[in-house]
Amino acid sequence: MTINEKQDELIEEFEFLTDWVDKYEQIIQLGKELPLIDEQYKQDKYLIKGCQSKVWLYPEFKEGRIFFSADSDAIISKGLVSLIINVLSGFSPEEIMNADLYFIDRIGLKEHLSPTRSNGLLAMVKQIKLYAIAYDAALVKKE
Amino acid sequence: MEVNTENIVRQFLYGGEPIGKQFPALHQSVYGKPLVYFDNAATTQKPYSVIHAISEYYSTINSNIHRGVHHLSQKATDAYEVSRNAVAAFINSRSSSEVIFTKGTTDGINLIADVYGSYAVKEGDSVIISAMEHHSNIVPWQIMCEKRGAVLKVIPMNENGELLMDEFERMLDERVKIVAVTYISNTLGTINPVKRIIELAHANGTPVLIDAAQAVQHVAVDVQDLDCDFLAFSGHKMYGPTGIGILYGKEEWLEKLPPYQGGGDMIKTVTFTGTEYNELPFKYEAGTPHIEGAITLKSAVDFITELGVNEIAAFENGLLQYTTSLVTEIPGIDIIGTAKAKAGALSLSVKGVHPYDVGVLLDKMGIAVRTGHHCTQPVMDFYCIPGTVRLSFAVYNTIEEIDYFISSLKRAINMLV
């Protein structure tokens, strides 16, 4: 599946949830299902700044692809980061760098993207893209 | 906690109607639910009288003040000074020259920290604040202490969120140059014994600044009765416009202290060799002030005065008691701040649940609360929590809204646990 196919799948999943509280119920469920990152990676180095809650994001680079795992002390933040990881984890740095994350707007989470909101969906996306840029640069160097 | 909720007024009436009718912003839906606004400690909504006054100002007398000889300028200047007099009467200051228009509470505290610091504070001196201060009443003093080589001391509090007055007494010595404390805590709702704090500080020869940002809209504030040396508050937390605030200072202090910012109204004569500063209160009002805000602050003062600050206090106390009694019955909830004397705000924490999660779900149910550290990070550190869910009340809140909040809170907890 491509990044866009994954996004479309999520949009479909949320389409039937018209009530806001139901949408958040779904996000909370995703948060509860999110595999936790290894305790050893829950350190300040992997903490995303700009969140009212704490979000740890750990990248692993394997065979040209980046795999992300994450955790948060707030379950909704965990659900939000889970959504993004579902879409972006397991792709090449280039694919991640160029991804247009239209699903966030389409499932109605645009308000979480405001730069002044302290819950940091924008910060999570930014951090993931920064990792992709870093790995991409490392790959270019190797070549 | 035993609370008698029988005699609590369900809503504040104005002209026989719910007072909420006076506040247009309250009549809207968010996410398809009627808005319930419980974030009043951050800022209050504005009544029609204030909104109309703002429109009226720009429609009729908009002009720069204190300079023009023309008709509009004189009208605007008159209105500006009438408002200053109204504020002076509101806080019972001896003279309107003790009332300075600022940008807000933070601006007023920074002003005093800066000018008082340069006037009186030297290396090895100390400044006393309390453990429950808002960042606005911590950081300006930290900056000043750093500049002057002084030490910042903190009055500790107990688990209930009450200041340890014995400790405060012990802290007072000849090196303490100023005491700055909040009247009412924005996070805990504690009403501090500021009159006693001022008495003790004065006995030590130390002036006191009171942060009244969370006080003027909830309790009667009388600067002569308190005998405070400085007192700061904001317009937007008392149903008035944003960007305007008041710094009260005793005349003898304001006369003695050096100027803060230069320019505009704060001068009498300027030559390249020197400047003669203007008299009070203009000495501290450099540049073109927030004219519209200052003039329309009077409407907010009139609004509170007309309702009666004691009536407001009694009504809001009822809301607080009622909420406390219901919240206490929900298992797994701790009330953060259980001082005997409280006003305005109720902070709570749900066991095993992050306050952010509760806040997001309540928002989706149409309820505006504040979550997080409320700019009082040291308070959160004290209780070892990441933040709280805070309800803060205003005169337009109702018992029905609290009932809806309680059922929504239970629903949110069910989803999260």
Chain A partners within 8 Å of B364 (Cβ): 20-21, 23-24
For residues B217 and B392, give the distance between their C-alpha atoms in angstroms, rounded to a whole number.
12
Q: Same structural domain for residues B253 and B329? A: no
CA distance A21 to chain B (A): 6
Peptide bond preceding B281: is omega within 30 degrees of 0, i.e. cis?
Answer: yes
Q: How far apart are the first and last CA of chain B?
A: 25
Which of A25, A52, A73 shows the shortest C-beta gap to B415? A25
- For residue B260, give the CATH number of its domain: 3.40.640.10
Q: Same structural domain for residues B103 and B183? A: yes
pLDDT score of B5 more than 80: no
pLDDT score of A12 more than 80: yes
DSSP per-residue letters across A30-71: HHHHSPPPPGGG-SGGGBPTT-SS-EEEEEEEETTEEEEEEE
* Residue whose C-alpha is closest to residue B407's, from B348, B330, B335: B330
C-alpha angle with apex A51: B328 to B25, nearest 5 degrees? 65
Q: For residue B5, is it within any domain? A: no
Q: For residue B27, is it within any domain? A: yes
pLDDT score of B374 more than 90: no
Confidence of residue B2 (pLDDT cuts 50, 70, 90): low
Q: Same structural domain for residues B96 and B233? A: yes
Chain A partners within 8 Å of B380 (Cβ): none
The amino acid at A5: E
> Are the Cβ atoms of A75 and B372 closer than 8 angstroms?
no
Question: Domain end: B271, B306, B341, which one?
Answer: B306
Q: Which residue has the higher pLDDT, B264 or B316?
A: B316
Q: Same structural domain for residues B272 and B141? A: yes
* Contact call for residues B300 and B240 (beta carbons, < 8 A): yes
For chain B, say whether A61 makes contact (Cβ under 8 Å).
no
Q: For residue B7, is it within any domain? A: no
Q: For residue B125, is it within any domain? A: yes
* Contact call for residues B78 and B327 (beta carbons, < 8 A): no
Q: Same structural domain for residues B378 and B409? A: yes
* Contact call for residues B204 and B178 (beta carbons, < 8 A): no
* Residue whose C-alpha is closest to residue A81's, from A112, A116, A42, A115: A112
Q: Same structural domain for residues B297 and B314? A: no
Q: Same structural domain for residues B242 and B338? A: no
Instruction: Give whole-number Cα distances, A105 to A112, B93, B401, in Å.
Output: 9, 53, 31
Residue B63's pLDDT is 95
Domain, as residue range, for B94: 51-306
Q: Looking at residues B187-209, what average pLDDT do you find?
A: 98
* Contact call for residues B234 and B105 (beta carbons, < 8 A): yes
> Are the Cβ atoms of B360 and A24 closer than 8 angstroms?
yes
Chain A partners within 8 Å of B387 (Cβ): 52
Q: Looking at residues B207-220, what average pLDDT do you find?
A: 98
Q: For residue B406, is it within any domain? A: yes
Question: Domain end: B273, B306, B339, which one?
Answer: B306
Sequence-distant (6+) residues with CB within 8 A of A14 are A23, A26, A106, A107, A108
Q: Looking at residues B232-253, what average pLDDT do you find?
A: 98
For residues B249 and B112, give the distance between their C-alpha atoms in angstroms, rounded to a whole number.
9
Q: For residue B134, is it within any domain? A: yes
Q: Same structural domain for residues B35 and B176? A: no
For chains A and B, what is the number of CB pairs under 8 angstroms? Answer: 46
| Preferred mutation among B350, B360, B417 to probe A, highest tally of A CBs within 10 A | B360
Instruction: Give whole-number Cα distances, A7 to A133, A142, B91, B137, B343, in Å.
Output: 21, 32, 59, 47, 48
Q: For residue B3, is it within any domain? A: no
pLDDT score of B364 more than 90: yes
Residues of A (20-59) whose Cβ lies below 8 Å from B:
20-21, 23-25, 28, 52-54
CA distance B363 to chain A (A): 9
- For residue B340, give the CATH number of its domain: 3.90.1150.10
Sequence-distant (6+) residues with CB within 8 A of B70 are B63
ipTM of the complex: 0.87
Q: Same structural domain for residues B81 and B114? A: yes
Sequence-distant (6+) residues with CB within 8 A of B332 are B350, B351, B352, B413, B417
In this prediction, what percent of chain B has a pLDDT beyond 70?
99
Q: Looking at residues B290-316, what average pLDDT do you find?
A: 98
> Are the Cβ atoms of A28 and B416 closer than 8 angstroms?
yes
| B260 burial via Cβ count (<10 Å: 0-12, 13-18, 19+) | buried
A26-41 tens-digit pLDDT: 999 999 988 778 888 8
Q: Same structural domain for residues B332 and B282? A: no
For residues A53 and A76, give the distance between their C-alpha atoms in angstroms, rounded to a whole number.
9
Q: What is the DSSP letter of B259?
A: P
> Are the Cβ atoms of B372 and A52 closer than 8 angstroms?
yes
Q: Same structural domain for residues B115 and B215? A: yes
> Are the Cβ atoms of B357 and A74 closer than 8 angstroms?
yes
Owner of token pair 């009260």: B248
B240-250 tens-digit pLDDT: 999 999 999 99
Residue A120's pLDDT is 74
Instruction: Please list the residues that pair with B334 across neighbouring strands.
Output: B349
Residue A39's pLDDT is 85
Number of domains in chain B: 2
Rg of the Cα trace of chain A?
15
Q: Which residue has the higher pLDDT, A35 or B331?
A: B331
In 3-state terms, what secondary structure has residue A91?
Answer: strand
Sequence-distant (6+) residues with CB within 8 A of A55 are A47, A48, A70, A71, A72, A77, A78, A81, A120, A123, A124
Q: Same structural domain for residues B61 and B192? A: yes
The amino acid at B8: I
B22-46 tens-digit pLDDT: 999 999 999 999 999 999 999 999 9
Residue A117's pLDDT is 54
pLDDT score of B1 more than 60: no
Q: Looking at residues B400-416, what average pLDDT do you find?
A: 97
Question: Domain end: B281, B306, B331, which one?
Answer: B306
For residues B371 and B356, give the distance between their C-alpha atoms in angstroms, rounded to a whole number.
6
* Contact call for residues B399 and B319 (beta carbons, < 8 A): yes
pLDDT score of A9 more than 60: yes
For residues B126 and B122, give the distance between their C-alpha atoms in angstroms, rounded to a whole number.
9
Residue B375's pLDDT is 83
Confidence of residue B7 (pLDDT cuts 50, 70, 90): confident
CA distance B371 to chain A (A): 9
Domains observed in chain A = 3-141 (3.90.1010.10)
For residues B95 and A43, give the distance between their C-alpha atoms in angstroms, rounded to a whole number.
57
Q: Phi and psi of B392, rounded to 5°?
A: -130, 140
Q: Looking at residues B340-357, what average pLDDT do you find?
A: 95
> Are the Cβ atoms of B387 and A119 closer than 8 angstroms?
no
Residue B270's pLDDT is 87
The amino acid at B367: I
For chain B, say whether A114 makes contact (Cβ under 8 Å).
no
> Are the Cβ atoms of A118 and B372 closer than 8 angstroms?
yes
Chain B partners within 8 Å of A77 (Cβ): 354, 356-357
B265-275 tens-digit pLDDT: 788 888 888 88
Sequence-distant (6+) residues with CB within 8 A of B253 are B116, B207, B229, B230
Structural element, H or E, at residue B326:
helix B309-329
B40-66 tens-digit pLDDT: 999 999 999 999 999 999 999 999 998
Q: Phi and psi of B279, rounded to 5°?
A: -80, 170
B106-160 tens-digit pLDDT: 999 999 999 999 999 999 999 999 999 999 999 999 999 999 999 999 999 999 9
Selected catalytic residue, list B145, B228, B375, B384:
B375
Residue B214's pLDDT is 98
Chain A's closest residue to B386, CA to CA, is A53
Chain A partners within 8 Å of B360 (Cβ): 24, 76, 119
> Are the Cβ atoms of A21 and B365 closer than 8 angstroms?
yes
* Residue whose C-alpha is closest to residue B369's, from B339, B386, B396, B348: B348
Q: For residue B6, is it within any domain? A: no
For residues B412 and A21, give the distance between their C-alpha atoms in angstroms, rounded to a whole number.
9
